[in-house]
Structure 1
């Protein structure tokens, strides 16, 4: 029997003029993802654990005058302190995403590489892949802006 889930993998690398430790510290805090991912409007029920941090993220989709709040179950794992963070996301509709962010010191800053594996039902593949790649690029722009403009409250 053939699986109804399809897998896609993609990655994006960019340079940020900030130390890897500062970027890691920002990315390990669930609240910092609000606005970092443009669809994410809220983070709730944060549960720190020994090995990982879990939380519920709320994505807001707008379709003309209509809006849809999509609740995500997220597990944030500090894979390698100051060097790698892994996020596993479970979304309604059998959409699953695993993102690994690698932070490599590079000259006056850090090379940030986000690798994503997306698993979706065939019927949602085009929409989910389009959203995930757009969010990845937007997140890179916003993370760079936040890290290069100095400390700020979120």
Structure 2
């Protein structure tokens, strides 16, 4: 299955435990990813949280498509990691590595995108990169309200 790794590093002006707590809660992903409009069916298990995220796509500005993705999230001492299983043969692995950096947190956002078909991979990589860059700005913007 073809794949691509995307990396993005940025600084969040909040301490690592606060950023970790925020990224460990499924409901916080609504709006953190510009595509995620809802989170449902949250299942907390030992060592994992599983949930369904609703990604909303718009095509040609008119056609709305809600893509239901299965997400697994694991909080570790170093950050948050997990997997995403999306329809159409698209799979993502993700990791938010968190390191203390002065008065804030250095975040390394790593996405590994796989798809069974190359056209699906190209589309998924393009969208994943857009989300990755936007997510950094959104998380930085949320920093003053993180507790």
Q: TM-score with structure 1 length normalisation?
A: 0.91
User: Are residues 1:47 and 2:38 paired?
Assistant: no
Partner of 1:84: 79
Count of residues in correspondence between the two structures? 145
Partner of 1:123: 119
Q: Deviation digits for residues 29-52 of structure 1, max 9, x if unmatched?
A: 000000000000000000001110
> Counterparts of 2:22 and 2:120 in 1: how far apart (Å)?
31
* Cα displacement (A) at 1:122: 1.0
Partner of 1:100: 95
Gaps of 5+ in 2: none
Q: Deviation digits for residues 51-71 of structure 1, max 9, x if unmatched?
A: 100000000000121100000
Partner of 1:74: 71
* Cα displacement (A) at 1:125: 1.7
User: Are residues 1:135 and 2:135 paired?
Assistant: no
> Counterparts of 1:123 and 1:113 in 2: how far apart (Å)?
27
Q: Deviation digits for residues 67-94 of structure 1, max 9, x if unmatched?
A: 000000000011x23x211020000001
Q: TM-score with structure 2 length normalisation?
A: 0.95
Gaps of 5+ in 1: none
* Cα displacement (A) at 1:6: 1.2
